[in-house]
A and B are shown apart, each in its own frame.
Chain A
Amino acid sequence: MATKITIDPITRIEGHMKIEATVDGGTVKDAQCAGTLFRGFEIILRGRDPRDAQRITQRVCGVCPAVHCTASTLNLDSAFDIADKIPDNGRILRNIVLGSNYLQSHILHFYHLTALDYVDVAAVAAYNGSDPELKSLKGFISRGELAPFIPRYEGDYRFDKSTNQELSKHYLTALEMRRLAHEMLTLFGGKMPHNAAVVPGGITEHPTVDKIAGFLWRLNKLRDFIDNTYIPDVIAVAKAYPEYFKIGAGPGNFLCYGAFDLDGTNKNYATRKRLFSQGAVEDMRNYKALDPSKITESVKHSWYDGEDSVHPSNNKTLPNARKADGYSWIRSPRYEGKVYEVGPLARWVVSYFAGQPQVKASLDTCIKTLGVELKDLNSVLGRHAARALDSKLVADSMAEWILELKPGEPVCTAYEIPDESDGMGIVDGPRGALGHWIKIKDKKIERYQLVVPTTWNGSPKDEKNQPGPMEQSLMDTAVKDTKNPYELVRIVRSFDPCLACSVHTISIKGAKLGAMRVV
């Protein structure tokens, strides 16, 4: 008899989420991802001053505000017709703001949102060394108040005692590292979360030599941590849990909007030169250039009224919480009508097939080191590996960009808000492809639409009944113990879901199965 597993809430992600999986004969036969919060940002934005979109959309997500500020300012730059006029200082500092948050987001994700699925912190109870942080953690454990590390799923912790202790130490060090990454951003962004300085036209903060030096020395610590701790730890998890290269495969189609503008003179975001390439890769082999007109959204199984397969620039947000076919507040974005995964893995696969030389060299080395094939990266471990490579390339690139700044030269350009205009801002954030679309009328926002990374990855079935990437990745997974379905949360967390951004779901009650509400 089929067993239905409900995991609600999924924790250690950004936001409110639930998954339901039907397990029969030991494997997942059906899966539904659902978010459980709806705020209605697109509705709140209507009628406001277009410039306020930069401040308001950042507040969609406190983990990844920097990419919303990037996408919204690109969107406004294009609507104000200044996309090709951003001064180099402004362009570079925006890259620095976005890149710093890539580092904080990826480190936070691997250590604080993911590691507890693989690392047994309880091993520190037997710690006998002299590290002050581990002694502090041991003291905490000895007092017996183990929240928030207990309760948890038991049963699949594979590292030996000393490795668990070492990785626990890295969990604590990583808290310091992600904080430093926020400091790097704040030097030029004013504050974090939710920076103040990035604006249409460029940025308000000026590069000065003390800030540049302060940035570089913080970045040095981060680069050392990424090279000597983060990447080796991802390899350690890969060696201890090797079957996770075969678990959690998504649709195999990857989409990337590119990220980090290297040349600001091309108005077209789909073709301008970026560190990561724009494009789509189908079946892990066929690269095609990005065509934003091929992006559509469907609402067949979402709690919205409206048509299916509509381009975001024409879409409306018409919530209908009682829609009969709906099971999710997320819409279903599709590219050429097909299901695409986004995120660091997608970014690396797209840039790899687009021939980005740094990505190609780095990814080839990674595959060799891990002893796997390219296709194996379409997996739980492939996503973690791509995120680590992403951190390294972005950190190394920032060390060069920061020295390209020219103190004393302009950071921002002037503009006028047009009476009527359309805009589009597309860029990859830590979690993948993010698009903002605006329609301005009478100098006010008439329509604002966001299609965010977890909307792609966490989308429900569309009008052709194609399940979203995360739903596909859960299918056919073997679940050893339905009371401790750690396989499923490992898969979901490998996507680094950001629910506040995207998954705004109210779920329906499923079919009457032998409902076993575990965990």
Chain B
Amino acid sequence: MCAKVVEYPAIWIAGAACSGCSISLLNAINPSIQNVLLDPVLPGKHVSLKFHATVMAGQGEPVIKVLKATAKEKPNEYILIIDGSIPTGEDGLYCRLGEIDGKEVTMAEMTKELSKDALAVLAVGTCAAFGGIPSGLPNPTVAKPVAEFFKEQGISKPLINIPGCPPHPDWMVGTVAHILINGLPSTEELDEKLRPKAFFGKLIHDNCPRRAYFDAGQFAKHPSDPGCLYEIGCKGPYTYADCPTRHWNNGVNWCIGSGAQCIGCVEPDFIDKYAPMFEKIDEEGLEKFKIKTR
């Protein structure tokens, strides 16, 4: 019923995660999640989601076999999507993905195996990109972000970080669309933290609708107050993402829009250095990021 469609295989595996990244992807609008799963996302190009534990029909060893078969049959064709950080303590036993031939496979082992023949790896969400909450002090499971894990294991693969707790669906779908239209992003298209500049190129503070209050020195003293939220802990001056213009959940709202401070969830320093979340960030930080108060 349709012209020839090229299938682009994708595998999504989750480590120390909360499923929030997957749930956020379900909130995609144009294309919707129905479009992403069923339709060619771009004319003649369909992303075939071979493995995703939350949506797939099957279970048990057959689905683990699908994982391995995809890697074997489609070398250098499939995109590996990882959400969650990779626990490396206790030989990786803190996170196991399933069993094959009576042996349990850990997230660490599976990441190593599947990344070997992947076309590219997308680290989705702040846990995969930078470690996130599971690697928060004292990091009880020695959970690592993908980039650090790759470095330790000597794995060299094109890696794109799409952080956020969770990431906006547009950031995920947009990055995949970029790959389908233009191929992998060039180094100029990513920042030094391997994030697409298209989504993470601008400081929240610079585009914040409450910026005028900051410049005028009008600060909220308490949550739900009008004014700039800087004094009650807003991390917008440190945080690079397009939330102020894109907004969330079909554009109906966003964190600062709802009167709550930005907690910097797309940044590597979330959650340790950006804590406490309700306390003002230090002035040294402002200097570092060249933010001038009035």
A residues with a Cβ closer than 8 A to B are: 6-16, 18, 36-41, 43-44, 47-49, 51-52, 55-56, 59-63, 65, 108, 112-113, 116, 121, 133, 135-140, 142-143, 145, 147-153, 172, 175-176, 178-179, 182-183, 185-197, 199, 201-206, 214, 319, 321, 410-412, 414, 489, 500, 506-507, 515, 517-519
* Chain B contacts for A143, CB-based, 8 A: 2, 5, 7, 46
Q: A149 — which chain B residues lie within 8 A by C-beta?
A: 56-57
* Top 6 A-B residue pairs of the complex, sorted by shortest distance between their CB atoms: A62-B20, A190-B258, A519-B60, A204-B259, A49-B276, A40-B140
Interface residues of B in 77-112 (CB under 8 A from A): 87, 90, 93-99, 101-102, 104
Which residues of chain B have C-beta atoms less than 8 A from A6's C-beta? 60-61, 99, 102
Interface residue from A51, A62, A145, A179 paired with B22 (Cβ < 8 Å): A62
Query: What is the total number of residues of chain B having a CB less than 8 Å from a CB of chain A?
Result: 90
Q: Does B23 contact A (CB under 8 A)?
A: yes
Q: Give the docked Cα–Cα distance between A112 and B54 (Å).
A: 9
User: Please, how many angstroms separate the alpha-carbon atoms of A142 and B3 in the complex?
Assistant: 12
Segment with Cβ contacts to A, from B151-159, B170-178, B207-215, B248-256: B248-256
- Among B27-35, B114-122, B184-192, B195-203, the one that faces the other chain is B27-35
Instruction: Name the distance in Å between B58's Cβ and chain A's nearest Cβ.
Output: 4
Q: Which residues of B contact A65 (CB under 8 A)?
A: 18, 20
A41: B residues at CB distance < 8 A:
133
In the complex, whether B217 has a CB less than 8 A from a CB of chain A is no
A11 to B138, CA, bound (A): 30
A-B contact pairs, 26 of them (CB 8 A): A9-B53, A37-B96, A40-B141, A49-B277, A62-B17, A62-B18, A65-B18, A108-B26, A116-B57, A136-B34, A139-B38, A145-B48, A148-B58, A172-B34, A176-B32, A179-B32, A186-B252, A189-B253, A191-B255, A193-B166, A197-B259, A201-B223, A204-B259, A205-B224, A321-B93, A507-B104
Additional pairs, 13, CB under 8 Å, beyond known A59-B165, A136-B38: A15-B19, A16-B95, A52-B275, A52-B276, A63-B23, A140-B37, A145-B48, A172-B34, A175-B34, A190-B248, A190-B258, A201-B223, A204-B259
With CB as the reference atom, state the residue of chain A lying closest to B133.
Answer: A59
Closest Cβ–Cβ distance, residue B21 to chain A (whole Å): 7
Q: Contact at B53–A39, with CB atoms within 8 Å?
A: no
Q: Could you tell me the distance between the alpha carbons of A133 and B22 in the complex, rounded to whole angstroms?
A: 22
Indicate if the CB atoms of A190 and B260 lie closer than 8 Å: yes
Chain A residues near B56: list those with CB within 8 A: 11-12, 147-149
Contacts of A145 in B (CB 8 A): 7, 46, 48
Q: Looking at A36, A135, A319, A515, which has the most chain B CB atoms within 10 Å of its CB?
A: A36
Chain B residues in contact with chain A, CB under 8 A? Answer: 1-2, 5, 7, 14-24, 26-27, 32-35, 37-39, 46, 48-64, 66, 87, 90, 93-99, 101-102, 104, 133-134, 136-141, 143, 165-166, 222-224, 248-250, 252-261, 263, 265, 271, 275-279
Are B95's CB and A36's CB within 8 A? yes
A63 to B18, CA, bound (A): 8
Kindly state the separation between the CA atoms of A138 and B1 in the bound complex, as whole angstroms. Answer: 9
**Contact A205:B279 (CB < 8 A) given known A138-B1, A143-B5, A414-B222:** no
Given contacts A175-B33, A203-B224, A206-B259, contact A8 B104 (CB under 8 A): yes
Nearest A residue to B258, CB-CB: A190
Known pairs A500-B17, A519-B62; A49 contacts B46 (CB<8 A): no
In the assembled complex, the Cα of A10 lies from the Cα of B99 at a distance in Å of 11
Instruction: Name the CB-closest residue of A to B96.
Output: A36
Write the nearest CB–CB distance from A507 to chain B, whole angstroms: 8
Cβ of A321 to closest chain B Cβ, rounded Å: 5
User: By the criterion CB–CB under 8 Å, are A62 and B19 in contact?
Assistant: yes
List, in ascending order, chain A residues with CB within 8 A of B50's CB: 147-148
Task: Indicate if the CB atoms of B61 and A186 lie closer than 8 Å.
Answer: no
Which A residues are CB-close (under 8 A) to B27?
Answer: 179, 182, 192
Q: Which residues of B contact A205 (CB under 8 A)?
A: 224, 253, 258-260
Name A61's closest neighbour in chain B (CB-CB).
B18
Tell me, in angstroms, the Cα distance from A414 to B232 when the chains sit together.
Answer: 13
Chain B: which residue is nearest A186 at the CB level?
B249
Contact across chains for B133 and A12 when beta carbons are under 8 A apart: no
- Which residues of B lie under 8 Å from residue A36 when comparing CB positions? 95-97, 104
Q: Decide yes or no: A189 and B258 within 8 Å by CB, A147-B49, A151-B58 being known contacts.
A: yes
**B260: which of A187, A197, A321 is its contact (CB, 8 Å)?**
A197
User: Please, which residue of chain B has its CB at the minimum distance from the CB of A46?
Assistant: B138
Given the interface pairs A44-B140, A139-B38, the reply to whether A148 lies near B49 with Cβ below 8 Å is yes
Assess whether B61 is in contact with A190, with CB atoms less than 8 Å apart. no
Flag if A43 contacts B140 (CB, 8 Å).
yes
Decide: A10 and B59 in contact? CB cutoff 8 A. Answer: yes
**CB of B12 to closest CB in A, whole Å:** 9
CA distance A319 to B137 in the complex (A): 16
Residue of A nearest to B59 (CB): A11
Is B138 in contact with A44, judged by CB distance below 8 angstroms?
Answer: yes
Find out whether the CB atom of B61 lies under 8 angstroms from the CB atom of A8.
yes
